[in-house]
Chain A
Amino acid sequence: MVDDRDAVARCLQGDEAAFAELFRRHEARVLRLAYALLGDREAAEDAKQEAFLAAFRSLDRMNVEVAFSSWLHRNVVWAARAVSQRAYRRREMTGDPPDRDAFAAAFDDQDRRTSLLDALRALPAGAREAVVLRFYLDLPESEIARLLGCRPGTVKSRISRALRRLAASPALAELQPSRETRDVG
């Protein structure tokens, strides 16, 4: 498998297959990142599309020293903010629960997953971004600061405050045996 750098180079030469390859390689991660930031499936899909669109359209302006994934993640954060603001302006309800299709229902920890995402959603937007980038993407604080356009100290304090709130949440309480359920909601 070629790496992203090669795929980006091919994109810039007009190779459509390379665009498709980059999209398929990063699509799931981008969607999950957007979902973690927005807590809404439809909004996450919108943010995913917008992030890819922006990333591809500005690919020629991407710093070659920056990994494509970092470039994309920054676009996801921006797209998620834009989607969230639009939703707010339209007074749309955000915060739908995670999809619970048959696949998800096969796994346990339904309650725990939902409550964790709920707890995340209850955080201030800046703290949520920092937490998701830190703990879902495993980015260092310096990288998060660059991505969010703030100082590393700010990131550190946001994460620290968020962790205190999350630690007090039932979402991070001990696991309990899950109940049998065929719930779909």
Chain B
Amino acid sequence: MSVEERLAADLKRALEPVQPRPGGWAQLRSQLEESPPVPLWHRVWERGISRRQFLGGVAATAAAALLPAPPIAEAPKPPEPPPPLDVLRPWNAPRGQDRRWVVHHPARGGGKPGNLPVYAPPTPDEHDLYLPGIGFRRPRGMASRGPVSAVAGGLTLTVHRVAVLGRGTWLEFEVSGVVPGPGSRGIGFDVSLRADGQVHPAGHFRNHRDDDRITVRTVARLGPLRPDLAEVEVIVGGEQIGGDLHALVPLVPAVEAGLMATRLTGAAATLGGVTVSVPRAVLGTDPTVLLLEVRTPPPHSHVWIGSRIAIRGRGDELTLLDADGREYLEEPTVLGFSHDPAVIGDVAFFPRLPPDATGLRLVVPTVTVAAFEGEAELRVPLAGVRPGGAVPLGLDVEFGGDPLRVVAAELWELATGRLLTLRLDLGPRRQGRLLLGPGQVLVDGEDRGFRGRWSGPGHARYETIDVPLPPETPDEVSITLRLPRVEILGPWIVPLGF
């Protein structure tokens, strides 16, 4: 591949994770309001229906009159044959016209699923308070009102939010600036929180680059602290950044720092045993914020709402509809969170709703789940296989109730060790379910991490998975696929009741 082709592909891929923040339109709109670009700016908005929406409504009505209701499941499509075996190279997938993506699944250790929610019985006022940057929480406790900054030695610490809320303490912070003499693995630093004379470590963080600049913004969670603290001190320190930074953050009752959410009752829709609900909403603000919850029997390791890979990007946005047929498209969202093993939550941001918006319904087109139950085990013979060689398998297995074919295996010798590539045929959508791939892969019972790759229109649907092998490759390895990820087709139409 030429430098030009690689540059084009890499540049697009490098920029893909750069996502707009919520509220961009609202900010621009307020700027435009100061001097409207056209005089009719508000009249059309007040009328509440655009030509696009009107035409869309007419088209939908006409289509509904002419066509039978669409089935829940798509018509099955014949499975596409896998690409030729010699096309792909592990860790170095070709780019260019054939757009290709890779997701890395780090080893979870012990073969156990990671990132499991910590159970705590929900309370009636769970999620009644919305704290920007933190999420929906109980309104009991203390929180900071606004950002607090501290500057020292070329670094700036900005504490965007501290919330001391009974069951836990959340700290949203940002560290930026220049540090002389960084190591080759980036700049590491420790963050801690001092309260009541005691120091509570929040964790070690690393700015992963090899020059002297640093920008880290993240949310750390600590254990519970005294719920009536009037102030806390956030400390950033470490050998690589020299002196410590201290930010004294005053706290006020959390209800004064956040926004009280509206409790919604009956805002739920169930399809195929999966219930999507909206128990809380923050209304009358920009953005409008909805708390989404999904219940699935049995519990799943994780659930992604409207997306196959953790975050809803362009084209995955959820939609709010009102009684007049107006559509409100979701603004880019943040990652979901969990608070109960039976319930997995997420937050969705929408533009400020007009005062006359009624009869609102949330449309969730898909839900992706990764089930705890359901494993597929296969044995891959490697005796006599040389690096670069392929083993035709054609193994049909059941994975979480869905059929899966392992077409072939390839062995690779890399600088970092041996790698096994499995080429998968996940088949078509069946009864609304679309198998996307495993969430965990074990080699001889050990989780060494793996990578899933896909290309073309099969977004986030693994065509191949790459598994590191132990240093001494045996004649046969046992591969266990776990946590089957399945996209379930909706739509769930959740009436919000207002």
Contacts and interface: CB of A to CB of B under 8 A. Distances in A.
A2 to B, nearest CB: 6
B102 A109 contact: yes
A180 interface: yes
B314 A28 contact: yes
Nearest to A13: B40
A80 interface: no
A158 interface: no
Interface string A155-177: 00000000100110001101111
A28 B45 CA distance: 24
A136 B52 contact: no
Nearest to A104: B17
Interface string B169-188: 00000001110000000110
Contacts of B309: 106
Contacts of A176: 91, 415-416
A180 B449 CA distance: 9
Interface band, chain B: 35 or more
B454 interface: no
B41 A21 contact: no
Contacts of B91: 175-177
Interface stretch (A47-55, A67-75, A83-91, A141-149): A47-55
A14 B208 contact: no
A154 to B, nearest CB: 18
Given A24-B25, A28-B20, A107-B102, A183 B206 contact: yes
Contacts of A95: 213
Question: Majority SS of interface residues in chain B?
Answer: mixed
Contact of A103 (B11, B29, B208, B311): B311
B7 A135 contact: yes
B178 A93 contact: yes
Contact of A102 (B21, B92, B335): B335
Contacts of B12: 136
B27 A185 contact: no
Contact of A13 (B10, B38, B103, B107): B38
Nearest to A119: B7
Contacts of A14: 38-41, 43-44
A9 B20 CA distance: 26
Interface in B7-22: 7-8, 10-21
B208 A185 contact: yes
A79 interface: no
Interface string A19-49: 1110110011001100110000100110011
Contact count band on A: 35 or more
A10 interface: yes
B31 interface: yes
A35 to B, nearest CB: 5
B88 to A, nearest CB: 12
A89 B27 CA distance: 25
B211 interface: yes
Given A106-B309, A163-B7, A185-B208, A49 B27 contact: yes
A118 B32 contact: no
A100 B208 contact: yes
A130 B334 CA distance: 33
B215 A96 contact: yes
Contacts of A175: 91-92
B77 interface: no
A100 B35 CA distance: 36
B310 interface: yes
A63 interface: no
A57 B37 CA distance: 5
A21 B457 CA distance: 25
Interface string B318-343: 00000000000100100100000000
Contact of B103 (A20, A96, A107): A107
Given A17-B45, A106-B103, A183-B206, A56 B310 contact: no
A19 B40 CA distance: 12
A11 interface: yes
B52 A132 contact: no
Contacts of A113: 10, 13-14, 17
Contact of B218 (A2, A16, A177, A184): A184
21 contacts: A14-B44, A16-B42, A20-B351, A28-B332, A32-B16, A36-B11, A49-B31, A56-B28, A57-B35, A96-B176, A97-B215, A100-B208, A106-B310, A116-B7, A135-B7, A167-B3, A181-B208, A183-B205, A183-B208, A184-B206, A185-B215
Given A113-B17, A135-B8, 13 more contacts: A10-B50, A14-B39, A14-B40, A20-B351, A28-B332, A31-B19, A41-B18, A96-B215, A106-B103, A112-B14, A172-B6, A181-B208, A184-B205
